[in-house]
Chains A and B, each alone.
Chain A
Amino acid sequence: MKFIKYILALYIVLVNVGCKDPYYINVDANDLNVLVVEGQITGSNTISYAYLTRSVNVNDRSELVIEFGASVYVQDENGLTFELVYSNENKRYEGFANTEIGKNYRIFIRTGDGKEYASAYTELLNTPDIGDINFERIYDGLALKLNTEDPSNKAKYFHWTFEEDWEIRSAYYSTVWYDQANDMLVDSSMSTQFFCYKNSRSTSIILGTTDNLNSSKLVDHRFHLIANADDRLSVRYSILVRQYASSLEGYKFLDLMRKNTESIGSIFDPQPSELVGNIVCLNDPDERVLGFVDASIEKNKRIFIDNAQVENWNFRLSCVPYDVTVDSTEFYFPAIYLPYDRGGRTIPSASNFCVDCRLRGGNNNKPAFW
């Protein structure tokens, strides 16, 4: 029987069933240059915004094409308008709109070339507060979960985005600075190399609904997974979650976008289908415009998680310590190693990213809330 098992095991090794290979398309797509609008109208004390971009060729590696020079307004049905202006920092049109729950709003856009676009009027929905945000150590990493409840049972569809900030630290605290220009070591407490901060935004579409539940309560709804050994939890982590109630149409739109672009590729997944949003070109109704503008109050909540709160996170930097001889500094620093102490005939050094956290994508801008 053991023999049979061995044979079968060998067979499995030999037979390579089912595999995924990278695939690059060679489609000469004509430049579609479709206007893409991602917008959210919120309450009067949070920012309403619209990202205006253009679609590009799949193989296009250049920067995001932003639709500059447009006039963007939040409008209600009585002609009341609030302008959204372009923010270089957030790369979007944004502003405060003095809106009221229950009224209908839309976003109106006049692009630089004079074309006018508008989203469908949608009712500004109230969004319930975010309840507890929990985390659970699971096999794959750390699962972040949230709770929310709308006692009025009006908000049934939810959409979340988040911003993450986390601290990272180097493996070695350096007391010297390598002056590359002069190839010399300068005594300095290099806290800028030791304490760093990183941040990122949600990149996947996070949705939830109570429509299929017999209560208006979402319990422990998983919205994020931090993979094992990720540096997010190496020291301290913080996440700001923004919660928006969605209209059914807005929810369906994002859900289809998610299916089309994120959960695809297993044997039985549905084929991609066309996305139809709620934006039209007023001058030319046949022009293809992609995107959806929804209207609801934004609710947000921030939590912090320390490394100590998570069991066995096992974040490790594989550092190679090395004693660099004085005559080889120019060769090794800073491309391979960085010094962390002055030393004597040799300089105690280690792999550069273990000494300077900025080489790991960190920066020294400590967030205000830290």
Chain B
Amino acid sequence: MRYFAFLILFLCSVEFIYAQQSNDPPITGSFKNITFKAFIAEVEKSTNLFFYYDSKTIDTIGVNLELNKTPLSLVLTKLFEGSPIKFAITKDNKVFITTDYTIRPELSSLYTGKENNYEDNKGLFSTQTLLDVKVASNSKVHEFGSRSTLTPNSTFILTGFVRNSKTGEPVINATIYSSKDSSITATTDVYGYYTLNLKGGAHSLEVQGAGIRDAHYNVGMYDNGRLDIIVAERVETLKAVTVSAKKSANINRVQMGVERLTIAEIKQMPAVFGEADVIRVLTTLPGVKTVGEASTGFNVRGGAADQNLILYNDATIYNPSHFFGMFSSFNPDVIKDIQLYKSSVDAKYGGRLSSVLDISSREGNKKELTGSAGIGLITSRLHLEGPIGESEKTSFTLGARTTYAKWLVSLLPKEYEDGDAGFTDFNINIHHEFNENSSLYFTGYYSKDNFRLRSDSTYHYTNRNANLKWKKLINKNLTGVFTAGVDNYVFGLYTDYGALNNFDYNYQILQKYAKADFTYYRNSKHTFEFGLNAIHYNLDPGNFKARSAESSLMPINLQTEKALESAIYVSDKITFSPQFSVTAGVRLSMFNVLGPRKWNEYLDGIPKSETTITDSYDKSGILKTYGGPEFRVSGRYAFTNSFSVKAGLNTSRQYIHMLSNTTTIAPTDVWKLSDMNIAPQRGGQASLGFFKNLRNNTIETSVEFYYKKMYDYLDYKPGAKLILNEVIEQDVMPTEGKAYGVELLVKKPVGKLNGWIGYTYSRTLLKMDDPTKGTLINNGSYYPANFDKPHDFIFVGNYKVSHRFSISANVNYSTGRPITLPVGKYYYNGAYRVMYSDRNAHRIPDYFRADLSLNIYGNHKIYQRTHNSWSIGVYNLTGRRNAYSVFFVTENGSINGYRMSIFGSMIPFVNYNIKF
């Protein structure tokens, strides 16, 4: 039956004329946000139809339709759905609109059993099918309370969920706003929940979001109300997409520097080996950089790679990469979207200085079992989702991904050819809805990597995460989310040199956390967010032992580090006027170093070393407390509907540091908690942005400025030993940093041709000028950080040639990253050696890369067993050997300089994806 309906709608409108012998003229045209009266006028103009109606009857009906030979009866049925309005069409092209009763045109016997007919039609054309003919609106007026009790100047709260009509999943970050005043706006949270403050009276609301069709609702607010909004997925449309009028979320959002990408956007971009990469895509956004190809670590506005908090459904992922950082460890099929806070970070987040990357997974289809599978050159993926039980209350999502194995390594430079590598990741999410006010979410995540370089050392690392989240709508104004979970990150290294020297080294972070986050919608002026959270850290910072009994290697077991990080926060989103709103928040964070622990006390005023120890302790309890307020303030002033200015001020503290003296995140980088001798990092950012939308909001432009300071960021003394060092404080020294930049972005989010062009000028400079802490770097003057790339240009474009074929391209140019080049050479120990001077005083050659991919989709019949698509492309189209690093090495007594590239040619790829 479904199939039949589909046929009728898509293939031949002729069927309709046949099916309905009466006069049911097809209507074609785009009717966007107009009154019914105007709609009638349009229709009368283009057809020979004539409408009879009473203006009072229809004045609450709005029309927002895209029609293509849609029968009039269908259009009217949809428009009047849920209202007492009826209609009749006569053979002589007259249309009668009436209230409560239906006119029966004498000549039309077919319409005598009309009510029944329409029942049939409803069955035949379910919501879904109607949406497929692009009836994206709902003209019914949803009234709350009674019109008669309305008092002037009263305001009410409208709340509810926005859900996907097909899967029942929540729609995140959908915007609901009044069509009259786009400053009255609400955005759905990760559960699809929204709260909107409306003045008493009638409103028409627009619902927009990525991946969904725009929807239109009419409400009459005479009391607080709840409206669950069901929206349709944006299916590949068969006609050119007409852009609706008000894509102005970027103008209205109070926050700035928040970047959001849906998985659909991520997947259409060309990626290395065709693996859609959730994190790598971020580096195409202004203000986000990476030091090179083999690094999933990224740098946000001059922050270090360890200053990004990476959350997967609230679980902290310490190592988000696979295979030397060439891939991110998130299965694209289970990810719903990613959100990066690079400037205004919500007060509820904390613990990292520069950004928060929030990755949300799919919630699972509550209605039927579906899934997808992908076959690429490097990995295979599978994902399944569906309901558990019959009730449509519980759903699950499962995802798994694995590599084909060894041949991966043959792609690496020759000296690694004896290596071996493999990785896998696994996700499970379960969602259960107790009732409309209470839901439970479970997230499980596992990723494992192991690889062997140069045949004798095997590296491995594993992320394990699990959490449980309970979301409760406590009352109309107050929502609470309670989360508890465990994060575990383990890495290690073992060798195969020979029985005498073989060792096994392991490192582990175990953190348990709990948090409660509340949102309180006080009134149209104030929305409060508040809550508290705590993380208990338990680090096992190094465990080294021989692998065989005959070895004389001494076991090393660094003492456990324990600490408690806790915070309370409150923020208020204050709407002073439709133009002006401010979010002001404060977060009080506290860090307690917990014993038992041994530590040294050092002399003040000279660098810490073995010889400056004054005392040693071994104590339990709370050994040291750090903490303080962090301020999160941002504001927006909208001069017009398409132009706004935003500003923000953020400060934060970071109590856990990654120790790394390599340029990229290495698999053996250890994390260290602040302790008696290592102070937390502190940072602050001020930013200012101008946002202007052009051409009816179809083009978004922005200019953002930022200035950032960092304190107590760790650098390393020459020859620092970062692994298995019991007195690491003697090898590190605190530095100071500043970063500033301007980011320009022109984005066309929708249309046949979509994409963005971004240019960033930015600098990141560090300074170590305190001789009491260690050796001065570059004589105490500012020097560029490893990821300081002043000029950065990005083009990302996607062109839909047809519904089955699209082309995507990326172009990326940036200044080469700084390196320390030799300034001279000297002869020592029998060979010439290079002498280094000022740190990062030179740069590797500039980076340029262009990628291209073609996406070919199977047919777009909605009701078929599987949907499949191919993605074929070339990464690094020009084959440019972008330098990853430049280094000089003494080999057989002489100095040789080399430039190392990760990709030395263009890399073609092909990926086959299937959805079922």
Contacts and interface: CB of A to CB of B under 8 A. Distances in A.
A and B from one complex: yes
Interface of A: 8, 11-12, 14-25, 27, 29-32, 34, 36, 38, 51, 53-58, 60, 64, 161, 201-205, 212-215, 217, 219-220, 252-257, 259-276, 290-291
A274 B904 contact: no
A33 B718 CA distance: 22
A58 B824 contact: yes
A64 B826 CA distance: 9
A32 B835 CA distance: 10
A15 B272 CA distance: 11
Given A14-B908, A256-B718, A265-B900, A29 B829 contact: no
B901 interface: yes
A276 B881 contact: no
B716 interface: yes
A202 B831 CA distance: 8
20 contacts: A18-B412, A19-B901, A20-B413, A20-B901, A21-B898, A23-B898, A25-B821, A27-B823, A56-B824, A203-B829, A214-B553, A219-B552, A220-B498, A260-B834, A262-B889, A264-B887, A265-B900, A267-B324, A267-B664, A268-B662
Contact of A15 (B668, B716, B905): B905
Contacts of B553: 212-214
Nearest to B295: A267
Given A22-B898, A214-B554, A268-B666, A55 B826 contact: yes
Q: Enumerate the 10 nearest inter-chain pairs by beta-carbon distance, A residue then B residue, closest first.
A: A19-B904, A203-B893, A23-B899, A268-B666, A256-B719, A18-B413, A16-B905, A16-B904, A17-B411, A203-B831
B905 A23 contact: no
A85 B271 CA distance: 65
Contact of B889 (A12, A21, A38, A264): A264
Contact of B825 (A56, A254, A255): A56
A120 to B, nearest CB: 13
A268 B905 contact: no
Nearest to A273: B718
B294 interface: yes
Interface string B882-910: 01111111111101111111111101100
Contacts of A263: 889
A268 B668 contact: yes
Nearest to A291: B828
A27 B842 contact: yes
A325 to B, nearest CB: 41
Nearest to B459: A268
A23 B826 contact: no
B662 A17 contact: no
B10 interface: no
A201 B892 CA distance: 11
A101 to B, nearest CB: 23
A251 to B, nearest CB: 10
A307 to B, nearest CB: 22
Contacts of B878: none
Contacts of A205: 829
B824 A265 contact: no
B280 interface: no
A260 B836 contact: yes
B820 interface: yes
B245 to A, nearest CB: 47
Interface in B659-693: 661-664, 666-668
Contacts of B902: 17-18, 267
A351 to B, nearest CB: 24
A298 B358 CA distance: 61
A204 B831 contact: yes
A17 B908 CA distance: 12
Contacts of B413: 17-20
Given A18-B903, A27-B823, A252-B719, A261 B407 contact: no
Most A CB atoms within 10 A — which of B324, B719, B837, B895? B719
B213 interface: no
Contacts of B790: none
A14 B876 CA distance: 13
Given A15-B411, A22-B896, A290 B835 contact: yes
Given A25-B821, A214-B552, A261-B833, A38 B898 contact: no
Contacts of A38: 828-829
B600 interface: no
B377 interface: yes
B908 A202 contact: no
A138 B719 CA distance: 32
Contacts of A15: 411, 905, 907-908
A269 B891 CA distance: 16
A261 B888 CA distance: 7
Given A20-B898, A212-B553, A273-B661, 5 more contacts: A204-B830, A261-B889, A263-B889, A264-B888, A267-B294
Contacts of A25: 821-822, 842, 886, 888, 897
Nearest to B724: A212
A18 B664 contact: no
A290 B823 CA distance: 14
Given A53-B827, A268-B666, A273 B716 contact: yes
B500 interface: yes
A271 B837 CA distance: 12
Contacts of A17: 411-413, 902-905, 907
A56 to B, nearest CB: 6
B628 to A, nearest CB: 32
Contacts of A31: 824
Given A214-B553, A256-B719, A271 B828 contact: no
A191 B379 CA distance: 65
A257 B901 CA distance: 25
A275 B720 CA distance: 11
Given A58-B895, A214-B552, A267-B324, A20 B834 contact: no
Nearest to B719: A256
B76 interface: no
